[in-house]
Amino acid sequence: MKISIFGAGAIGSYIGSLLFKSGVDVSLICRGKHLKAIQNKGLLMQSKEANEEYFCKPKASDNPNDLGKQDFIIVTLKAHSAALTAENLLPLMDDNTTVLSAVNGLPWWYFYKSGDKYENTKLISVDPKNWQWEFIKPHRVLGCVVYPAAEIKEPGHVIHSEGNRLLIGEPDGSVSDRARNISKILIKSGFKSPVRKNIRKDIWMKLWGNLAFNPVSALTSATLEDLVNDRDTCTIIREMMQEGEKVANALGISFPISLEQRIEGTRKVGQHKTSTLQDLELGRPMEIDALTKSVSEAGKIVGVATPTIDMIYHLVRLKAQQAGCYPNL
């Protein structure tokens, strides 16, 4: 079984290191100083949650042609990068390759085999040039919702702070052989990776908070706890989440917890900066289209207005543009 991690930054390196540790034939596709460090010295992984550290030296390259055809490819890029680099997966794929789309936000394949009147609708906000649909092709895809948190401390050195859930599922909700196979491999490697029968619901459960907290945090530079504790700001967040829930409901998704429970869960995370705020502070491209614009686009598709989401999206997009952190797709 050959597995390649396409976009092995912090999260991808964490996943790859655990797969390598369990004996899987895994390769990492990454670039820059991180790649050179792994090639020269290997990868040092520290897990605060597991209170352990270990060293490994998986195959690593910035050229997919070096690695051959893969059974599974786990895409762990930011959404905007995934849209731009889809063609680069071609050397890794044959007719039997499965691609796990472990990307934040509504995925480009969302309406593939959705079983409703919106089936095969394309989401322009996350795949503006249609490259993922064209080059990867939706029949290859397994959905994947990623919960681990990790960061690159320095090239070749990744710190995993918390989380080991990688939820996977077929777009049509079936429990396929390929889903069971990768689930077993991931579980053996130390992940909580059940095969889910409604992966879209899992996508929405993560996105429900991200669509609001991430852009508002970038606008305010506030931590999650501070956002919840500021009454007026939290009112805006509630309005965004209410709009997002209406879009999800129109797509047949119901949430198992209330909005207030979701917000209270965020409060308990404490003084944590969202990934979007961290990207802004570090001058990196921000994932605002996948986390926010995609929900607005889905709202237009199903006929649900999202005025607060739209307003916040336009504000944070301008902030990202002024900071040089808005990716041009």
Q: Give yes or no for a contact between 158 and 10, defined as CB atoms under 8 angstroms apart.
A: yes
Given the residues 206, 246, 273, 319, the one annotated as active site: 206
Which residues neighbour 320 within 8 Å (Cβ) at sequence distance 6 or greater? 218, 280, 286, 288, 326
| Separation CA 233–CA 227 (nearest Å) | 6
Q: Which residues pair with 160 in a beta bridge?
A: 47, 150
Question: DSSP per residue over 136-188, as a string?
Answer: I-GGGEEEEEE--EEEEEETTEEEEEE--BEEEE-TT----HHHHHHHHHHHH
The closest alpha carbon to 15, from 185, 132, 140, belongs to 185
The closest alpha carbon to 135, from 175, 86, 100, 173, belongs to 86
206 in active site:
yes
Helix extents (H) in the chain:
10-21, 32-40, 79-84, 131, 177-188, 199-220, 224-229, 231-250, 259-267, 275-282, 288, 294-302, 307-322
- Catalytic residue ranges: 206
